[in-house]
A = this chain, B = another copy of it.
Amino acid sequence: MLRSIGRQWRCSVAFQCPCLCPARQQLPLAPSSEGRAISTSVGQQLKAQQQQQLQEQQQQQQQMHKIDEEVSRLLALKAKLGGDATPANQKFTLKTPKGTRDYAPQQMTLRQGVLDKIVQVFKRHGGEAIDTPVFELKEVLTGKYGEDSKLIYDLKDQGGEILSMRYDLTVPLARYLAMNKISSIKRYHIAKVYRRDNPAMTRGRYREFYQCDFDIAGTYDPMLADAECVKIVAEVLDTLDIGDYVIKLNHRQLLDGMFEACGVPANNFRAICSAVDKLDKSPWADVRKEMVDEKGLDGATADKIGEYVRLSGGAELVEQLLADEKLKAVPNAVKGLEGMQLLLKYCSLFGLEERISFDLSLARGLDYYTGVIYEGVLKAEPSAPASPVKELHNGDQALEQSGTVGSVAGGGRYDNLVGMFDPRGKAVPCVGVSIGVERIFSVLEAKFAASKVKLRTNDVEVYVASAHKGLHEQRLRVLNQLWNAGIKAEHSYKLNPKLLVQLQHCEEHQIPLAIVLGDAELAQGIVKLREVTTRQESNVNLADLPNEIRRRLQK
| Contact surface of A with B, Cβ cutoff 8 Å | 2, 5, 9-11, 13, 15-23, 25, 27, 60, 63-64, 66-71, 73-75, 77-78, 81-86, 88, 90-92, 94-98, 100-105, 108-109, 111-112, 123-140, 142-143, 153-158, 160-163, 165, 175-176, 178-180, 185-187, 192, 194, 196, 208, 216, 218, 220-221, 224-225, 227-228, 231, 235, 346, 349-351, 420-421, 423, 457-460, 472-473, 476-477, 480, 483-484, 486-490, 493-495
**Which residues of B sit under 8 angstroms from A84, Cβ to Cβ?**
162
Beta-carbon contact of A458 and B92 below 8 Å: no
Q: Which of B133, B143, B185 contacts A97 (CB 8 A)?
A: B133
Instruction: Give me 25 A-to-B residue pairs in the complex whose CB atoms sit less than 8 angstroms apart, sorted by A's number.
Output: A9-B20, A18-B66, A19-B66, A21-B23, A60-B81, A67-B74, A67-B83, A71-B75, A90-B139, A91-B423, A94-B178, A94-B179, A94-B421, A96-B132, A102-B132, A102-B133, A105-B187, A125-B490, A134-B134, A135-B208, A153-B155, A154-B158, A224-B495, A349-B473, A349-B477
Beta-carbon contact of B18 and A70 below 8 Å: yes
A30 to chain B, nearest CB (A): 14
Copies of this protein chain in the complex:
2
**Which residues of B sit under 8 angstroms from A156, Cβ to Cβ?**
153-157
**Which residues of B sit under 8 angstroms from A208, Cβ to Cβ?**
133-135
A347 to chain B, nearest CB (A): 10
Beta-carbon contact of B96 and A133 below 8 Å: yes
A19 to chain B, nearest CB (A): 3
Q: Which of B105, B176, B489 contacts A124 (CB 8 A)?
A: B489
Beta-carbon contact of A97 and B216 below 8 Å: no
In the complex, what distance in Å separates the CA atom of A463 from the CA atom of B63? Answer: 62
**CB within 8 Å for A77 and B81 given contacts A129-B108, A490-B126:** no
Q: Which of B15, B98, B457, B458 contacts A17 (CB 8 A)?
A: B15
Beta-carbon contact of A86 and B142 below 8 Å: yes
**Which residues of B sit under 8 angstroms from A125, Cβ to Cβ?**
483, 488-490
A321 to chain B, nearest CB (A): 24
Beta-carbon contact of A139 and B472 below 8 Å: no
Q: Which of B23, B109, B130 contacts A23 (CB 8 A)?
A: B23
Q: Which of B104, B124, B175, B227 contacts A483 (CB 8 A)?
A: B124
In the complex, what distance in Å separates the CA atom of A74 from the CA atom of B187? Answer: 43
**Which residues of B sit under 8 angstroms from A139, Cβ to Cβ?**
86, 90, 92
Beta-carbon contact of B94 and A175 below 8 Å: yes
Beta-carbon contact of B82 and A60 below 8 Å: yes
In the complex, what distance in Å separates the CA atom of A103 from the CA atom of B94? Answer: 35
In the complex, what distance in Å separates the CA atom of A119 from the CA atom of B95? Answer: 28
Beta-carbon contact of A126 and B458 below 8 Å: yes
**Which residues of B sit under 8 angstroms from A194, Cβ to Cβ?**
134
**Which residues of B sit under 8 angstroms from A176, Cβ to Cβ?**
102
In the complex, what distance in Å separates the CA atom of A142 from the CA atom of B476? Answer: 39
Beta-carbon contact of A133 and B493 below 8 Å: no
Beta-carbon contact of A158 and B163 below 8 Å: no
Beta-carbon contact of B16 and A21 below 8 Å: no
* Chain B residue at minimum C-beta to C-beta distance from A164: B156
In the complex, what distance in Å separates the CA atom of A10 from the CA atom of B480? Answer: 71
**Which residues of B sit under 8 angstroms from A175, Cβ to Cβ?**
94
Q: Which of B73, B86, B130, B178 contacts A108 (CB 8 A)?
A: B130
**Which residues of B sit under 8 angstroms from A458, Cβ to Cβ?**
123, 126-128, 186
In the complex, what distance in Å separates the CA atom of A27 from the CA atom of B314? Answer: 75
Beta-carbon contact of A102 and B77 below 8 Å: no
**Which residues of B sit under 8 angstroms from A101, Cβ to Cβ?**
133
Q: Which of B20, B74, B78, B493 contacts A5 (CB 8 A)?
A: B20
In the complex, what distance in Å separates the CA atom of A420 from the CA atom of B90? Answer: 9
